Chain A
């Protein structure tokens, strides 16, 4: 069964450093998403991406965040200057078409110290 792959599985970074979280969506999917889950809380929407541009973003997704699909297969989330409160699980998801099923990756646990 096709999978969404995320790397790394765990990243520890110092406050103020830049991090890039990587995702390889399912190959024929067209819509891509990043979600975040702070420990013990619900999964929150960050951003959706379609046709090489952001289609929607949440209030969480401020100027410190950016997304990119640099080579047609990878989908990355960059946090320019990490804060302690950015510590969370970050999930990538992809969707073949609206109304279809989402597939989530296993997540990257980001720890900001």
Chain B
């Protein structure tokens, strides 16, 4: 069935280091993937997306990598800052569908 899961529930990273958050998905029909950031008391905030015809996409300090062979998605955050502390969700949108299927989330802790 359709499912999106995360490898690690929490991740602690030293301020200034790079963070890598991983995600596995199981629906090979998904053609659009999104990373969301959720701060306490707020709704999911779009970070970056990638379509299935790409394997890498870069934004400002963030990079998403997609490996369709092993159905793996990752979010890389460069030079992690205190403001990056949040829960990060990967999400997929199956082909010809519009609802978002969210994973369980990874909490990112930034250590001073």
Excluding A91-B43, A102-B100, 10 further A-B contacts by CB distance (< 8 Å) are A41-B104, A42-B103, A45-B100, A56-B97, A91-B44, A93-B100, A101-B49, A106-B42, A107-B41, A107-B43
- Interface size of B as a range: 10 to 19
What is the CA–CA distance of A44 and B97 in the complex, to the nearest angstrom? 15
Could you say which residues of chain A place their CB within 8 Å of the CB of B41?
A: 106-107
Mark out the residues of chain A between 5 and 61 whose CB falls within 8 Å of any chain B CB in the assembled complex. Answer: 31, 33, 35, 41-45, 48, 55-56
How many A-B contacts are there with CB distance less than 8 Å?
Answer: 49
CA distance A44 to B91 in the complex (A): 11
| Total count of chain A residues near the partner, CB < 8 A | 24
Partner of A43, one of B32, B89, B98: B89
Binding site of A, secondary structure by majority: helix, strand, loop or mixed? strand
B54 CB, min distance to chain A CBs, angstroms: 14
Q: Is the CB of A45 within 8 A of B101?
A: yes
Residue ID in chain B nearest A109 by CB atoms: B41
In the bound complex, residues from chain B placing their C-beta under 8 Å from that of A101 are: 46, 49
Q: Is the CB of A104 within 8 A of B45?
A: yes
Nearest chain A CB to B16 CB, angstrom units: 28
Contact status B104-A42, CB under 8 Å: yes
Bound CA span A98–B104, Å? 24
Cα(A80)–Cα(B56), bound, Å: 45
Task: Give Cα distance in the complex from A103 to B34, angstroms.
Answer: 12
B75-107 residues with Cβ-Cβ distance < 8 A to A are 89, 97-105
Interface pair B105/A42, CB less than 8 Å apart: yes
Q: Flag if B102 contacts A43 (CB, 8 Å).
A: yes
* CB neighbours of A43 from chain B (8 A): 44, 89, 100, 102
Instruction: Give A98 Cβ to nearest chain B Cβ, in Å.
Output: 5
Indicate whether A70 reaches chain B with its CB closer than 8 angstroms: no
The chain B residue sitting closest to A92, CB to CB, is: B43
Closest chain B residue to A33 by CB distance? B99
